[in-house]
Structure 1
Amino acid sequence: MSTVHRATAAPRIVATTLLGGLITGLLGMASVAAEETPDAQLEIVLDSSGSMGAADPGGGTKIEAARAALNGAVDVLPDEAAVGVRVYGGRYDDEARGCTDTRLVTPLGPLDRTASKAAFAGLRPLGYTPIAFSLEQAATDFTTQGPRTIVLVSDGEETCGGNPCEVARTLAQAGVDLRVDTVGYAADPATRQQLQCIAEATGGQYS
């Protein structure tokens, strides 16, 4: 590897490692719950909106860095973890469809690393950021009554007029054992504030 290539690659490796560390830490806490409570479930909710196609500070794009970080995080989850993957954005660039663009790409069930990585690999950055709607949908994905954890990864705030913080409060008040941990990826102050509010409303953690 040339000196120039190493110099270019180094920041990207650091950025991906930092993001991966945040995600792995949150997934690790959820996996501890899974070991202690067999019916615990974890769902990753990932931003695939147009902003994720922007340049990553370390090189490449944000979606590429997120994909690499998530692949690494999935590798260290325990085999017994029950994991699902939901994404928002990625299919439509018009507001009418983009603001309901969220889908469960890997249903909750026994950890399938191959399926999870295939879901990450298929992500293409496009469209809007319907966080509130995605949280509402994610809450209905769980198939057990045990502890439920959502790990929400986003680089931006809601762009569809929803109120994710209010949705989080509503979920918390519903008496469901659900916490939402949030990861702000290269997030600006407004995004950090929104993601912190979501996490705090459900007893989760913002990173």
Structure 2
Amino acid sequence: MAYPRFLCAALCATCLTFPLNAGESCIEDAIIVFDGSGSMSEMGFNDLDEPRIFEARRALRRAIPDIAPFRRLGLVIYGPGPEEACHNIDLRFAPQANAAPRLLAEVEALRPSGDTPLTAAVGRAAAALGAPSEPGTVVLVTDGKETCGGAPCQLAAELAADAPGLTVHVIGFKVRGEYFSWGSQGGSDYTETTTIAQCLADQTGGKYVSTETVDELVAALQDTLGCKLIGGLRVGPLPRG
């Protein structure tokens, strides 16, 4: 189909005007690894006015509907479940098109409980994406703890060596230190830390983003899962049979 000369010129000018954003290309499938452990329901200390899960849900409701039309998304949740505490890692669904309704429904129904096998959960997501032979993107959303004896930095080294096409981004959400004390003025003192899982991002070419608010979590999800923009147009995923 032939396009008018002025339209071609306008499109070319637009492509030159708008740079690519910092997000991934959308050609690769992605899996969100979501922290559903008991700590996501904590409140009343460590400067948490409400459970982390409430704000995380609001952030997902804002971010995912704009991402899902352009990238196949899957979901792994760790924490709650019928198995022994550290074995509750559930691949809720593999990457699929237009996954927003299902993903949001799964997180809305989630009742946080259990321990935090985040290392094994990232490994499960990597395998579901086809690692080590297939490329993919894992986005881990966590409050920072690993309570099941996993070694995230060892996994990071293995993924970096054996699965060069896999990128792991880590979003730390309201990460807090292990120790809590009362300040001299009656307020709370806490030590903010980066999550132990940061090395998963550092060693696989991903990003580590520390977030405290809903707005920051939305921005982090958009940055790690969003598509490249050319002239304001998203680069969509490749067709799949």
TM-score, L = length of structure 1: 0.75
Secondary structure, in 3 states, of the residue corresponding to 2:194?
helix
Amino acid in the other structure paired with 1:197: C
Q: Does 1:151 align with 2:139?
A: yes
The 4+ residue runs of structure 1 with deviation greater than 6 A are none
* Residues 64-95 of structure 1: per-residue CA shift (max 9 Å, x gap): 11111112110221513110011100225xxx
Letter in 1 for 2:89: T
Q: Give the equivalent residue in structure 1 for 2:118.
A: 131
In structure 2, the residue matched to 1:44 is: 32
Say if 1:170 and 1:146 are closer, same or farther in 2 by CA, change over 3 A. Answer: closer
Give 1:69-84 correspondences, 5 Å limit.
69-77=59-67, 79-84=69-74
Higher helix fraction (1 or 2):
1
Residue 106 of structure 1 is matched in structure 2 by 93
Q: CA deviation at 1:175?
A: 3.3
Give 1:195's aligned residue: 197
Is the aligned partner of 1:172 residue 2:174?
Answer: no
Q: Percent identity?
A: 32
User: Number of paired residues?
Assistant: 171
Counterpart-to-counterpart distance in 1, 2:206 and 2:130:
20
Listed one character per residue, the Cα deviations across residues 153-174 of structure 1 (whole Å, up to 9, x for unaligned) are 1013210111011112111110
Q: CA RMSD in A?
A: 2.2
Q: Is the 8 A contact 1:183 1:195 kept in 2?
A: no
Mapping of residues 54-93 of structure 1, within 5 Å: 54-55=42-43, 57=47, 59-77=49-67, 79-91=69-81
Q: Distance in 2 between matches of 1:50 and 1:175?
A: 31
Query: Which consecutive residues of structure 2, in runs of 5 or more, have no partner in the other structure?
Result: 1-21, 179-192, 210-241
Decide which of 9, 23, 34 is 1:29's aligned counterpart: 23
**Matched residue, 1:6:** none
Q: TM-score, normalised by structure 2?
A: 0.65
Using CA pairs below 8 Å that are at least 6 residues apart, which structure has the higher relative contact order?
Answer: 2
